[in-house]
Structures are given as structure tokens and as C-alpha cells.
Amino acid sequence: MKIDLTGKVALVTGSTRGIGRTIAETLVGCGARVAVVGRDLKKAEEVAEELGEARGFACDISVPADVTMLVQAVEDAFGSCDILVNNAGITRDNLMLRMKDEDWDAVLETNLRSAFVAIRAAQRGMMKRRWGRIINIASVVGIIGNKGQANYAASKAGLIGLSKSVAKELASRNILCNVVAPGFIKTDMTDAMTEDAVTALATQIPLGRLGTTGDVAGLVAFLSSSHADYITGQVLTVDGGMVM
Ligand code: NDP
């Protein structure tokens, strides 16, 4: 079974590193042309050059007007935006008692509102072309919650509700919307953890290890492809069996 995305254009937010970068690389490998997005244009352009059929774009996705302009810029540059992967995300962890309003707002604006704005902007072209794939990167924390991550868990649970609503609203136009919920994946985000914390965590994962960015990217490529034409509104965990 070959995944062929020839002729498709994919916009992947937060693709300058981590999971997003591997998603961008994997989609290019499947034949798509990819918009690499981060806050730093030089970094995004460097990554795009390394990947090949890609272009770099700078956007702070916590700013709604900039997200709308980003989608327009990608459509202008490539002629369409067929696959939208809302991947960029941040954490501002703290216990509820100590969590500041700014920490709540920053996480909700970056992780959730950005996806709403990007989908609203990208759906126009997708509706015209009667084809679209929207994949939102949530987290298992959005399903099971986590101490110290009320803001992050709320943003990721919000992505799940958003995705199911979008899936229902746009299904008749052949626009599919699914959620990928990673468990613990080795990236800059998890590199901040101590070795002891990682070892303790691995004991709770049936497959006994942290995931790789490739573990997530493979599923995103599948969901972007014709092999997933009858799948929408789903939440798929990539977590070594942590949540089942
Ligand atoms: P990283 O911290 O490694 O990378 C985050 C990416 O998002 C970077 O490319 C960064 O680019 C970009 N980004 C952050 N803030 C903004 C912003 N305001 N505007 C534009 N781009 C931004 O994260 P991961 O790869 O680990 O995570 C990717 C996604 O997967 C996130 O949504 C995360 O919540 C989710 N996830 C990760 C897990 C893990 O274990 N790693 C587990 C579960 C979910 P730059 O800094 O260049 O702007």
C-alpha cells in the first residue's frame, strides 16, 4: 500500500522542529508540496530547503489575523491548501492554584483558537475543490487530563470537540477532519523532563518506550491519503497503548 499525495498541498503548523517537522518531511516523501511554518522565517526557510518540495512561512499562530493571512499566502504560493495539519502547540504547566490567566490564555490561543481560525480560512478553498483533509494534533492529556496541565488539557480536549463538529459540518463537501492524539513522543517538549521522570513514565507505557516523531507522522500521512477516505471525526491515539 503506497501513500501517494502527488498534486496535494499541505500546510503544517509548527513544522520547524519536533513532530511537525517529521510530518512535513513525511508528506513531502509522499509527493505533497508542503508549507513549513514557524515563528522564525529564516528557520522555516532552512527546513523547507532541507525537505525539498516545500516553502517556509513565518507566522505566530496565536495571532488570528496572521493565521488567516498565512492560509491565503500558502494558497497564493502553491495554488491551494488541500491538507491542513494543526500541529503547533505549547505548554505553560502549573497547578491550578498557581496558574495565571496569561498561562491559560497563551495555551488556549496557541493550541485551540489557531486551529479554529486556520480551519475557517482553509475550508473555503477545500469546499470549492470538494476535497480537504484536516488533521488536528491533540494529546492523550486531552482525553484523560493531567495534574498541572489544566490549560493544556482543556486546549487539547477543545480540539477534539472542534474536530468532531467540523467533521459533521464539512463531510458533505468531502472534507474530512480527524484528531491524532500522541502520548509521550521524544521531542524538545519532552526533552525538558529528567531521565528519572522518563524512566518512570516508560513503565506506564505498555510498549515500554517513548514514541518517535515518525510514529505520529505515519498516521498523519495515512489520514491525508485516499486510504482514509471513509474516516472522519475520529480521535486516534499514538501512545504505545497508554490509553485504551
Ligand atoms: P516542539 O516544542 O518540539 O515544537 C513546537 C513547534 O510549534 C515548533 O515548530 C514551534 O516553532 C511551533 N510553535 C510554537 N508556538 C508557535 C506559535 N505561536 N506560532 C507558530 N508556531 C509555533 O513540540 P512537539 O513537536 O513536541 O509537539 C507538536 C504538537 O504535538 C504540539 O501540539 C503538542 O502539544 C503535541 N503533542 C506532543 C507530545 C510530545 O510528547 N512531544 C505529546 C502529545 C501531544 P517555532 O518555535 O520555530 O515558532
Q: What is the pTM of this model?
A: 0.98
* 207 within a domain of the structure (yes/no): no
Cell of 2: 503506497
> Using 50, 70 and 90 to split pLDDT, how confident is the model at 198?
confident
Q: Which of 36, 63, 85, 90 most suits a substitution to test ligand 1, by most atoms within 8 Å of the C-beta?
A: 90
**For 15-74, how does the pLDDT look when each residue is reduced to its tens digit (9 = 90+)?**
999 999 999 999 999 999 999 999 999 999 999 999 999 999 999 999 999 999 999 999
Q: What is the pLDDT of residue 188?
A: 83
* 202 within a domain of the structure (yes/no): no
230 has catalytic annotation:
no
> What's the CATH code of the domain at 32?
3.40.50.720
Q: For residues 54 and 188, what is the distance between their CA atoms, to the nearest angstrom? A: 23
Range of the domain at 170: 9-184+213-237
| Percentage of the chain exceeding pLDDT 70 | 100
**For 72-98, how does the pLDDT look when each residue is reduced to its tens digit (9 = 90+)?**
999 999 999 999 999 999 999 999 999
End-to-end Cα separation, the chain, in angstroms:
27
Which residues have CB under 6 Å of ligand 1? 13-20, 38-40, 43, 59-62, 87-90, 110, 137, 139, 182, 184-185, 187-190
Q: For residues 113 and 93, what is the distance between their CA atoms, to the nearest angstrom? A: 18
* 33 within a domain of the structure (yes/no): yes
Residue written as cell 492529556? 141
* 98 within a domain of the structure (yes/no): yes
- Is the distance from CB of 58 to CB of 46 less than 8 angstroms? no
* 203 within a domain of the structure (yes/no): no
Atom of ligand 1 nearest to the CA of 141: 43
Cell of 115: 486551529
* 92 within a domain of the structure (yes/no): yes
Residue written as cell 505520529? 216
Q: What's the CA-to-centroid distance between 172 and ligand 1, angstroms?
A: 31
Closest Cα to atom 4 of ligand 1: 18
* 54 within a domain of the structure (yes/no): yes
Q: What is the CA radius of gyration of the chain?
A: 17
Mean residue pLDDT of the chain comes to 97
- Is the distance from CB of 157 to CB of 181 less than 8 angstroms? no
Number of folded domains in the chain? 1
Integer angstrom CA distances of residue 199 from 19, 184, 208:
21, 12, 9
